[in-house]
Structure 1
Amino acid sequence: MQTRTRITLGLVVAILCLTIGVAAGWRYYNPAADQVGAEHLRLFREVVSIVRSSYVEEVSGKKLLEGAINGMLASLDPHSSYLPPEPFTEMKTEISGSFGGLGIEISMRDGKLTVVAPIEDTPAWRAGIQSGDHIWKIDDTPTRGLTITQAVKQMRGEKGTQVSLSILRNGNGKPLVFPLVRDIIKTRSLKSRTLEPGYGYVRISQFQERTGDDFAAALAKLRSDNGGSLKGLVLDLRNNPGGLLDAAVAVAGRFVGERLDNGLIVYTEGREHFAKRSYSATIGEKEPRYPLVVLINGGSASASEIVAGALQDHGRAVIMGTTSFGKGSVQTVVPLKDGAGLKLTTARYYTPKGRSIQARGIEPDIVVERAGFKELPDKGRAGFLEKDLDNHLSGAESGEGEKTPEQDVKKLPAAPATPEHEVDKDYQLLRALELLKGWDAMRKVATAKH
């Protein structure tokens, strides 16, 4: 029995070491060259040995290993995690824009499973689940003690199957029970319409593989529907939880980068293999320099903050709304040999002028609160931002300070549509449209002949 235990423990430690240095080009962890590391591994073996021999029930080595990995990653920051084969496959499917489930972005706050934002036009969105909701139970299973991966696994499932979420919400003394039916979540990357003749509106709910192309097509359609040109555009990134970096670069790149030396969108800084990288707009078709207003709020995170920060730094848009979420960290997904994946925070994002987004967010040029309207609620309320998450990364300053780093040179009618959310019921959108119209009026005054 002792021989078997020693073999099992040796296998656990060997797999743990392999996991730490799995990716090609990464620095392998060598406990023999690091006395402190060797002492930690001996402590790990000792704890595993005690659990294996003395715990009230027999525990598999796989369960202990995965628990150790999850605990190790959870101690780093809220966004690093181990993805077993099934969740890893689901994550890749989600990035493609189609997956089965409820449509909820979740995270941990004070040890509680908390909704960051529901994805628009999904079962969760339609049922009225809100940012800041504490998911107390999934069916009859309490969520306390569950990892995010475990919770996601319980909420995901085949189309047509049912799941019940018990929600604790501020201001309500009793749990709210939401019976939901899972669906194939084909997230619509964006929607567009004409607000008034000459003034366009594009809402991007998430940055996916097709977002860049869809955005270019939507802008072309808006121009065509408005006599070939726009007087102004509202880009709505409220409650956009982020997505793919390449898609964010493509969207921002429609408005900046007319010259090789002014197209920086974002850069990252990490350690060694993930040292500084720059992402710039590609040379190609650009939008005319019509006035642009970008709407953000506390539910705008990650890729949406990259777009807002880049347009703000380049002076290409007025940012309006409330402070964004503040998720300025880069997660690299590394496939592991058994079909699982490792999502690891490897760098921080910085705007073109060297501003860190992490735990700070993007401050709007013009602060406009939601003013209590029900439509398009502010999914990221004050008090639930990146800086409020357990164990969040600090917003470290860029090594460049405020300097711009060296570039890498390498069916809508023209008349007012009937919108899904009437403009006069969305105060922030109304203010954005008023600003664009005022902008146009002031331009006419400035260019008038006397």
Structure 2
Amino acid sequence: MLNKKFLTMGFITTAAALSLLYSTSLFATTPQKPTNEESRLQALAKFTKVLGIVEQYNVDDVTLQELIDKSLQGLMTNLDAHSTFLNKKSFDSLKVQTDGEFGGLGITVGMKDGALTVIAPIEGTPADKAGLKAEDIILKINNKSTLNMTIDDAVNLMRGKVGTPIDITIVRKNEAKPLHVHIIRGNIKIQSVYTKQISDNILYIRVTSFDKKVVEGVKKAINKFKNKDKGIVLDLRNNPGGLLDQAVGLVDLFVDKGPIVSQKGRTESENKVYSATSSATITHMPMVVLINGGSASASEIVTGALQDHKRAVVVGKKSFGKGSVQVILPISEDEAIKLTIARYYLPSGRTIQAVGVTPDIQVEAGEVKTEDNEFMIKEADLKKHLEKELQKDSGKAVTKDTEKEPKDQIITTEQLHKDLQLKEAVDIIKALIITQG
């Protein structure tokens, strides 16, 4: 009712203003550009007029409130892939995700080249155990096409009661047909930091996501082996990101001065620079950082900052390219908008958004396959190609083709030889230890 009243009053005010403008223009000798306020009124008048026409003549009966919600959704999703309007159902779902326990798959998703894409499965979750991989394109969720689906709608479809099943159809690079994945939803409990030893003097640290315990966990591991180890391999592969303060804090453990990341938005209040402090730095050991297409957001900030400061050698494949800042802004008790307010910039001034971080040394994961196949396509052809796959979908079931990394404290030579990226990282660290030691 309040919305309707506001819109009606706005229309009357706008109509009066337009009438005044038209009357004035009859006597004007020189056309004048409308002021900013007049332009706003004209735009609001156009919007209100279209709402009225649709409400009156649309073939289906649609209420004004429904039209407003659809308009807001269209407005937000057309700004960028991460902005959205959260109605009561979506807003409640977000609150459950951040404040309570929920059932899910354990994957982070994003929009890449217009397609719903897995950024990374979280280690140990149902999605990880079912064999989903970074850069898998989600074609269907429970037989519902994801084309033109928002990220939030997709997340809401995948989330559900613990123990309930869900079927995902994916398109994977170098696979001839779409793959069907059957997953049972579970509670998502994440261990964010794993540490192991490689050889006698290399500390391997794997960070799977940036929760509130990352800096504490990494700091504890480094201090424990500080007198033994001479080099560090920081593995951020398939790390979808998380808390900004943890990313900044992690870099601060290795860099003693200079900017780590800056945040720049439209308003000056959103502009911030996060810098390193010498008091937080605990080691200057040579480092290698491992990344891939599943490394996003906070993990890209860490990688890019260490690379710009020439503090680490980056090995692997180009990262995902998620370098924007979103905030949740309530517009009522039950509704809100998620809006992109800023972008992150690395110490050198370069952006992450839609670009990612390029490794110093690019290394494929496992065997390198070079043969052509029908999924080696240009970005411009992606949507058309996915539409074709929806029509001919007769995919096979996916199986986990790699064993989970054991949780013991030592990475053996045999395990090392199964991971080409990690082996390259270890070879580089050994060389750095010799040259810098």
TM-score class, shorter-chain normalisation, is 0.7 to 0.9
1:316 equivalenced with 2:311 (yes/no): yes
SS at match of 2:281: coil
- Mapped contact 1:9–1:49 kept (Cα < 8 A): no
> 1:107 is matched by which residue type in structure 2?
G
Displacement of 1:317: 1.3
- Mapped contact 2:104–2:162 kept (Cα < 8 A): yes
Displacement of 1:164: 1.4
Distance 1:178 1:285, change over 3 A: same
Q: Quote the residue 1:195 is aligned against.
A: 198
Distance 1:102 1:192, change over 3 A: same
- Mapped contact 1:103–1:118 kept (Cα < 8 A): yes
Q: Quote the residue 1:22 is aligned against.
A: none
**Aligned-CA RMSD value:** 3.5
Aligned equivalents of 2:8, 2:414: Cα separation in 1? 60
Instruction: Spell out, residue by residue over 1:355-402, the C-alpha distance to the aligned partner (whole angstroms, 9 max, x if none).
Output: 22223222222222324279xxxxxx99899xx99xxxxxxxxxxxxx
Q: Quote the residue 2:163 is aligned against.
A: 160
Residues 43-54 of structure 1 mapped to structure 2, 5 A cutoff: 43-54=46-57
Displacement of 1:175: 3.7
Displacement of 1:149: 1.5
Aligned equivalents of 2:419, 2:75: Cα separation in 1? 44
Identical amino acids, percent of aligned pairs: 41
SS at match of 1:45: helix
- Mapped contact 2:195–2:409 kept (Cα < 8 A): no
TM-score by length of 1: 0.75
- Which of 420, 431, 436 is equivalent to 2:424? 431
Residues 36-435 of structure 1 mapped to structure 2, 5 A cutoff: 36-91=39-94, 94=97, 99-109=102-112, 111-172=114-175, 174-223=177-226, 228-257=227-256, 262-282=257-277, 284-372=279-367, 417=410, 422-435=415-428
Displacement of 1:222: 4.0
Aligned equivalents of 1:125, 1:211: Cα separation in 2? 21
Displacement of 1:61: 3.1
Aligned equivalents of 1:38, 1:419: Cα separation in 2? 69
Aligned equivalents of 1:326, 1:383: Cα separation in 2? 20
Aligned equivalents of 2:255, 2:2: Cα separation in 1? 63
> 2:217 is matched by which residue type in structure 1?
D
Give the unaligned 5+ runs of structure 1. 15-30, 375-380, 390-414, 445-450
TM-score by length of 2: 0.77
Displacement of 1:277: 0.9
SS at match of 1:121: coil
- Mapped contact 2:287–2:311 kept (Cα < 8 A): yes
SS at match of 1:240: coil
Instruction: Spell out, residue by residue over 1:295-341, the C-alpha distance to the aligned partner (whole angstroms, 9 max, x if none).
Output: 12222222111111211222221122222222222223323322433
Aligned equivalents of 1:384, 1:98: Cα separation in 2? 40
Aligned equivalents of 1:439, 1:162: Cα separation in 2? 48
Aligned equivalents of 1:234, 1:98: Cα separation in 2? 33
Greater Cα shift, 136-145 or 47-56: 136-145
- Mapped contact 2:173–2:376 kept (Cα < 8 A): no
1:442 equivalenced with 2:435 (yes/no): yes
Displacement of 1:293: 0.8
Instruction: Spell out, residue by residue over 1:51-70, the C-alpha distance to the aligned partner (whole angstroms, 9 max, x if none).
Output: 22222222233332222112
Q: Quote the residue 1:411 is aligned against.
A: none
- Which of 8, 11, 23 is equivalent to 1:10? 8
Distance 1:192 1:98, change over 3 A: farther
- Mapped contact 2:119–2:295 kept (Cα < 8 A): no
- Mapped contact 1:238–1:296 kept (Cα < 8 A): yes
Q: Which has the larger radius of gyration?
A: 2
Aligned equivalents of 1:285, 1:175: Cα separation in 2? 48
Aligned equivalents of 2:235, 2:71: Cα separation in 1? 41
Give the unaligned 5+ runs of structure 2. 13-33, 370-374, 384-407
Distance 1:420 1:113, change over 3 A: farther
SS at match of 2:206: strand
Aligned equivalents of 2:414, 2:155: Cα separation in 1? 30
- Mapped contact 1:298–1:382 kept (Cα < 8 A): no
- Mapped contact 1:97–1:187 kept (Cα < 8 A): no
Distance 1:166 1:204, change over 3 A: same
Aligned equivalents of 1:384, 1:320: Cα separation in 2? 25
SS at match of 1:422: helix
- Mapped contact 1:240–1:304 kept (Cα < 8 A): yes
Instruction: Spell out, residue by residue over 1:383-441, the C-alpha distance to the aligned partner (whole angstroms, 9 max, x if none).
Output: 899xx99xxxxxxxxxxxxxxxxxxxxxxxxx972579922111111111111112223
Aligned equivalents of 2:331, 2:178: Cα separation in 1? 40
- Mapped contact 2:171–2:178 kept (Cα < 8 A): yes
Distance 1:254 1:94, change over 3 A: farther
Aligned equivalents of 2:216, 2:232: Cα separation in 1? 18
